[in-house]
C-alpha cells in the first residue's frame, strides 16, 4: 500500500482486522451500496456484455451474492495465503470470460481498466452510502479506505496505475468514466427492472412461494427505485432512467433506516451468518435447520391467509419431495440452462464448473481438469443435439431428442469431480468431504448389527459416479445435487 501522506499510514493495515474495510463488511447499509455498485459495473459495456453472455446472476442471484461475499472475505481477511489463493482463483475465472458484445466490440474480464472500474464502483458506493446515511466520511478515513481498495487491486496482480494514486485524482477519473464510458446496457436494465421484480426465493424461503411473492411485489420495485435515485444524476439523464416521485426522499430514508441496525448488539448482524442462513436447506444437518422447518410451517399458514385475502394469482405449488421425476423441459430449465437465456451452450456448463470449483476451493490443475471435462461434455452434447448448427441447443432440440446424456464425456466429469472432492485421495468421500461439496448431511451412514452407526461408511467412487449420472442423465431429483445446481 502506498503512503497516503499521514504519518501513521505505515502502521495501518490494508487487510484484515483493523482495516477500514472491516468496519463496513457487516454494515447492513453495505447491501444497498453493493447493489448500486453492481448496477454501475453492469453499465460499463465490457462488464455488461460479460454478464449477459456468461453470468448466472438472473437465475442464481443468491449463489452469486454468496460467492462474491466469501471472495471479499478471503481477499480482505487476515490470512495472506488465503488472499493469494483467492486472487489466483479470480484471475483464472476472469481469464475464461471474454468475447464480443452485440455491437461487435471485444470484451475481456482481464482488461486492467475494466477491473479497476469494478473496484472503483465498490469504493465510491461505500463513500456514497455513508453520505446518504447522513454520516459522510472524514477525509483521512476516505483516503485510508481508498488506499485499501487500491491494495486489493494490487493483490490481484494489476498495476496500481489503473486507479489514480491519490484520492484527489480519483474523482475526476470517476466522473470521466461515468460521462464517457457508461451506457444503458441490457445487463443494467435487467438488474434494475427484472431481477428485483422476479427475484427467486433463497433456499431459506424456497418452500414459501406465496409469502415470498407477496413481499417481493412490494419490496422489489422499491429497491429498484432506491438504486436508480442513488446513481449519478448525469448518468440517469443520459441513460433515460425514470425516477419515481419522492424517490430521493425514499432513498435517503432507506439508508437511514437500514443504518439503524448498526446499533444492535454486537454479533446480531453478521453478513457471513446471514449469507449462510439464506442458503440453509431443510436437508442440512445444521442445527438451525430444525428452527427453519418450524418457521416454514408457521409461514405456510400465513401464506394460506394471504391467498384468501389478496387477489394475487396463486403461485405454482412446490414440488413434493416424493416426486423424484422431472420432465425433459423441467430438467432443461432448472439444471442445464444455468444462465437462463433459454438455450444450452458452453457458458451454462462453464457456470456449473465454476460453482463446483468455488465450492471445493480448487487450485490448479484440479480446476482446469474439471473445466476440461465439462468442455468435452459440451462438445459431445453439441454434436448430438445441435440440429440446426447454430452452436447452441434449444429447449425444443433437447426435449425432442430426449437423449441419454450418460456418454463417456459425462462419466469423465463425474470421475474428475469425485477426485476433486476426495481431498485425502483414499478413494472414498467421507462426511466432511461430502458436506464441503453439498453443504448437507451425509445420508449414507448405515446402522450396524448392534444399532450403532458404522464409522467406516463412506461414499465410494462407484456410488458417487452412479448418483451423478442418474441425476444428470436420468432427470431424477436429488436431495444433494438439486441444492447444488438448481437453487438460486
190-239 confidence digits (pLDDT tens) = 999 888 888 887 776 666 677 778 788 888 888 888 999 999 999 999 99
Last residue of a domain, one of 261, 283, 306: 261
Q: Is residue 109 over pLDDT 90?
A: yes
Does the residue 307 lie in any domain? no
Give pLDDT tens digits for 159-183.
766 899 999 999 999 999 999 999 9
Q: What pLDDT is attached to residue 18? A: 84
Tell me: pLDDT of 287 over 80.
no
CA distances from 155 to 66, 170, 358, 409 (A): 21, 19, 19, 37
Helix or strand (DSSP H, E) at 308: helix 288-309
- Identify whether 166 is part of a domain: yes
Higher pLDDT, 405 or 90: 90
197 and 83 within one domain: yes
Q: Is residue 270 part of a domain?
A: no
452: which residues sit within 8 A by CB, 6+ positions away? none
Q: Is residue 425 part of a domain?
A: yes
Q: Are residues 204 and 338 in the same domain?
A: no
Q: Where would I find the beta strands (DSSP E) of 388-478?
A: 393-394, 428-429, 459-460
Asked whether residue 308 is assigned to any structural domain, the reply reads no
Counting the structural domains of the chain, the total is 2
CB contact at 8 A, 208 and 216: no
Of 214 and 79, more confident: 79
Given this model, what pLDDT does residue 29 score?
Answer: 83
Q: Between these two residues, 297 and 485, which has the higher pLDDT value?
A: 485
**What pLDDT is recorded for position 291?**
59
- Single residue among 233, 261, 289 that ends a domain in this structure: 261
- In whole angstroms, give the CA distance from residue 58 to residue 52: 9
**What 8-state DSSP symbol labels residue 327?**
-
Please report where in the chains the cell 453478513 appears, as a residue: 271
Per DSSP bridges, beta strands 428-429 and 459-460 are antiparallel
Q: Are 416 and 356 in contact (CB under 8 A)?
A: no
Least confident range from 283-287, 290-294, 316-320: namely 316-320
Which pLDDT score, from 0 to 100, does residue 325 have? 74
Boundary (domain end) residue, out of 261, 296, 320: 261
Q: Which set of grid coordinates corresponds to residue 455?
A: 464409522
23 with 145, same domain?
A: yes
Tens digit of each residue's pLDDT (9 = 90 or more) over 115-133: 999 999 999 999 999 998 8
Q: Distance between CA 130 and CA 147 in Å, rounded?
A: 17
Q: Which of 142-146, 236-240, 270-274, 368-372 has the lowest mean pLDDT?
A: 270-274
Co-location of 256 and 337 in the same domain: no
Going by C-alpha positions, the residue among 230, 241, 223, 51 that lies closest to residue 124 is: 230
Q: Model confidence at 451, in pLDDT bands (50, 70, 90)? A: very low
Residue 359 maps to a domain: yes
Mean pLDDT of all residues in the chain? Answer: 83
pLDDT at 161: 67
Residues 108 and 246 in one domain: yes
> Region 148-168: what's the mean pLDDT?
89
Answer yes or no: do 245 and 344 share one domain: no
Same domain? For 207 and 340 the reply is no
Is 412 among the domain residues?
Answer: yes
Q: What is the pTM of this model?
A: 0.82
Residue 384, domain member (yes or no):
yes
Higher pLDDT, 322 or 28: 28
Q: Tell me the per-residue pLDDT of 235-279, one tens digit each, with 9 for 90 and over.
A: 999 999 987 788 888 888 888 888 777 666 666 666 666 666 666
CATH of residue 456? 1.10.238.10
Instruction: List the domain range (segments joined by +) for residue 423.
Output: 328-485
Amino acid at each position: 500500500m502506498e503512503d497516503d501522506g499521514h504519518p501513521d499510514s505505515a502502521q495501518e493495515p490494508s487487510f484484515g482486522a483493523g482495516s477500514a474495510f472491516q468496519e463496513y463488511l457487516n454494515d447492513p447499509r453495505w447491501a444497498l451500496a453493493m447493489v448500486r455498485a453492481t448496477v454501475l459495473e453492469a453499465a460499463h459495456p465490457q462488464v455488461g456484455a460479460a454478464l449477459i453472455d456468461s453470468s448466472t446472476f438472473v437465475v442464481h442471484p443468491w449463489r452469486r451474492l454468496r460467492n462474491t461475499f466469501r471472495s471479499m472475505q478471503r481477499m480482505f481477511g487476515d490470512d495472506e495465503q488465503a488472499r493469494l489463493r483467492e486472487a489466483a482463483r479470480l484471475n483464472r475465472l476472469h481469464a475464461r470470460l471474454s468475447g464480443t458484445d452485440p455491437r461487435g466490440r471485444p470484451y475481456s474480464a482481464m482488461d486492467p481498466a475494466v477491473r479497476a472500474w469494478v473496484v472503483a464502483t465498490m469504493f465510491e458506493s461505500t463513500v456514497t452510502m455513508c453520505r446518504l446515511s447522513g454520516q459522510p466520511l472524514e477525509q483521512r478515513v476516505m483516503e485510508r479506505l481508498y488506499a485499501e481498495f487500491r491494495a486489493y487491486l494490487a493483490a490481484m496482480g494489476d498495476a496500481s496505475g489503473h486507479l489514480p494514486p491519490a484520492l484527489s485524482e480519483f474523482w475526476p477519473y470517476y466522473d470521466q468514466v461515468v460521462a464517457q464510458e457508461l451506457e444503458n446496457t441490457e445487463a443494467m436494465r435487467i438488474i434494475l427492472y427484472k431481477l428485483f421484480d422476479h427475484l427467486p426465493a433463497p433456499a431459506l424461503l424456497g418452500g414459501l412461494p406465496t409469502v415470498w411473492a407477496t413481499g417481493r411485489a412490494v419490496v422489489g420495485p422499491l429497491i429498484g427505485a432506491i438504486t436508480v435515485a442513488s446513481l449519478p444524476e448525469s448518468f440517469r439523464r443520459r441513460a433515460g432512467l425514470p425516477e419515481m416521485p419522492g424517490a430521493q426522499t425514499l432513498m435517503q430514508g432507506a439508508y437511514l433506516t437500514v443504518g439503524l441496525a448498526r446499533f444492535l448488539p454486537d454479533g446480531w448482524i453478521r453478513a457471513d451468518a446471514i449469507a449462510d442462513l439464506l442458503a440453509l436447506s431443510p436437508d442440512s444437518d445444521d442445527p438451525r435447520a430444525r428452527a427453519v422447518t418450524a418457521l416454514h410451517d408457521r409461514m405456510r399458514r400465513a401464506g394460506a391467509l394471504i391467498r384468501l385475502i389478496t387477489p394475487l394469482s396463486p403461485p405454482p405449488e412446490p414440488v413434493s419431495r416424493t416426486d423424484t421425476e422431472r420432465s425433459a423441459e423441467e430438467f432443461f430449465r432448472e439444471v442445464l440452462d444455468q444462465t437462463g437465456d433459454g438455450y444450452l451452450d458452453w457458458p451454462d456448463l462453464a457456470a456449473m464448473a465454476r460453482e463446483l470449483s468455488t465450492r471445493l476451493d480448487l487450485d490448479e490443475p484440479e480446476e482446469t481438469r474439471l473445466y476440461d471435462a465439462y468442455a468435452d461434455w459440451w462438445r459431445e452434447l453439441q454434436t448430438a443435439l445441435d440440429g440446426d448448427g447454430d452452436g447452441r441447443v434449444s429447449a425444443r432440440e433437447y426435449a425432442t431428442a430426449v437423449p441419454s446424456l450418460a456418454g463417456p464425456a459425462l462419466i469423465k466429469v463425474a470421475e474428475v469431480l469425485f477426485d476433486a472432492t476426495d481431498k485425502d485421495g483414499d478413494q472414498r468421500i467421507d462426511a466432511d468431504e461430502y458436506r464441503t461439496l453439498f453443504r448437507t448431511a451425509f445420508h449414507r451412514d448405515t446402522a450396524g448389527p448392534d444399532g450403532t452407526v458404522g464409522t467406516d461408511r463412506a461414499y465410494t467412487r462407484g456410488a458417487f459416479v452412479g448418483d451423478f449420472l442418474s441425476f444428470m442423465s436420468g432427470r431424477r431429483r436429488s436431495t444433494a445435487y438439486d441444492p447444488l445446481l438448481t437453487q438460486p
